[in-house]
Amino acid sequence: MQSPDKKPVTSQEGVVRPSQSKEQTQEQVLENVPPSPEVLANRHIYDEYFDLELGKCFAEDIMELIDGAYFRSRLIDLDPFPKRNNPKRPLIFASNHSGMAFPWDGIVWGYRIHKHCNYGPDGIRALTAPMLSASVLMHPYQIKYFWKRMGAVDATFLNFETMMHQNDFNVMIYPEGVPGIGKGFHRRYQLQRFSSSMVHMSIKYKTDIIPFYTVNGEYINPYSYCSNFLNKLVNLIGIPFLPLGFITPFILLFPWIFYMAFPARLTFIKGKRIKPYEMTDKPYEEMTYEDFRAIADKIRDMMQKELNEAVKKYGQKPYDWKSFFKAQWKWIRYFPYTLPIGWPLLFAEWERVRIKKGDRKSKLKLGFLSTLRILFKNPKVIAYYLPLIGWIPLGISGFRRLKP
């Protein structure tokens, strides 16, 4: 996932027209001036593949099982849940990246927040790296348009600004961008350079930033490192980075391991509310790129300090094996779907019933004897379990580009 970064561009928003009273404040101008033509033309992103009811099905069918039996996530200091300081604009949620793994931490976090907020306007829609949407391989188990169906929007400056003109949900951003994903296990809690885009939006629309810290997420794929040279190569085929670790050879051998995660106990900690518009005396339209950059760096330092404290408190037992085995026993009737080796079957059956058939009401039939039935109805999933040759059909379909 990433966040867009761009030098400030003066648009018709934030500019006082001659006919307007000099007494009008910048806040009043922003409320009264309509969105720019570019934003108006871009509003299609609000509904592009987004299906809230499908997201609820995904939470109930898959995430309750995976999170309950495997990740056992925790939300710390969530209550009271943050409310909008500017009722007409969404809050900006910001989090660190876990690094070197498929973004299960983001999937779990989004599920927990939406569930906590009962899928209402306090929930989030994430700005994600365009690479996640472009390549079929980067969608969980090749479910096409998965990210956008779940509410994600490609992270561009225009898309960010467009999302600030909706109030159905808050906005989620990972300000480290792709460098935060591929920073390597040795730098797992070292925040990378922040994009200044969230500072732009916070100051322009007078809305607060709510930091959240992800702890233990880097243990989803531990002791993995990166090579800038290899990352540039895999970027050409639509993969953001290539983790280099002890499971890398097994990814080539067994395709299902590409989406694998170790059972890290994901912990999400709410930080202190940040108000970037109080960090400057300049009006938005008079600020320079260097002004925004300086505030972004200051916010990064603030968040680094809170992240370090969160790691000391919640990062000592990244797997918490006692809790893991207890959870596996509790959900034993759903084996093998409680483990990554069963997830290709689980996701394939979910896609068949919920997307291809359009059935949003019946309950998925899972259990000990359901494996052969699911394989029979979803024969393509067999490729995930075929050593080496399974990559042939998966590669042919996975490296296709999806239309925006």
pLDDT reading at 29 higher than 50: no
State pLDDT tens for residues 99-147. Answer: 778 899 999 999 999 999 999 999 999 999 888 888 898 999 999 999 9
pLDDT of residue 233: 77
State pLDDT tens for residues 326-355. Answer: 999 999 999 999 999 999 999 999 999 999
Question: Where in the chain are the domains?
Answer: 26-398
Give the integer Cα–Cα distance in Å for 3 and 297.
Answer: 15
Tracing tokens 């034993």 back to the chain, one arrives at 332
For residue 356, give the 3-state DSSP assignment: helix
Residue 83 has what DSSP assignment?
-
Who's near 243: CB < 8 A, 6+ residues apart? 100, 101, 182, 221, 224, 225, 226
pLDDT of residue 220: 94
Cα separations in angstroms, 16 against 33, 125, 278, 359? 9, 31, 21, 51
For residue 297, give the 3-state DSSP assignment: helix
Name the least confident of 12-16, 148-152, 232-236, 278-282: 12-16
State pLDDT tens for residues 349-378. Answer: 999 999 999 999 999 999 878 999 999 999
pLDDT of residue 3: 55
Q: How far does Cα 51 stand from its chain's mean position?
A: 16
Q: Return the ∠ at Cα 135 (arms to 130 and 141), rounded to 5°.
A: 115
| Average pLDDT, integer, range 198-202 | 95
pLDDT reading at 325 higher than 60: yes
* pLDDT band at residue 240 using 50, 70 and 90 as cut-offs: confident
Cα separations in angstroms, 198 against 150, 155, 173, 269, 297? 22, 11, 8, 20, 12
pLDDT of residue 71: 98
pLDDT reading at 283 higher than 70: yes
Name the least confident of 63-77, 101-115, 228-242, 333-347: 228-242
| Average pLDDT, integer, range 62-83 | 96
Helices (H), 42-154: 52-58, 64-66, 104-116, 130-134, 146-149
pLDDT of residue 354: 97
240 neighbors 182 (Cβ within 8 angstroms): yes
* pLDDT band at residue 206 using 50, 70 and 90 as cut-offs: very high
16 neighbors 284 (Cβ within 8 angstroms): no
In percent, the amount of the chain with pLDDT more than 70 equals: 90
For residue 75, give the 3-state DSSP assignment: strand
Answer whether the bond into residue 80 is a cis peptide, omega within 30°.
Answer: yes
374 neighbors 351 (Cβ within 8 angstroms): no
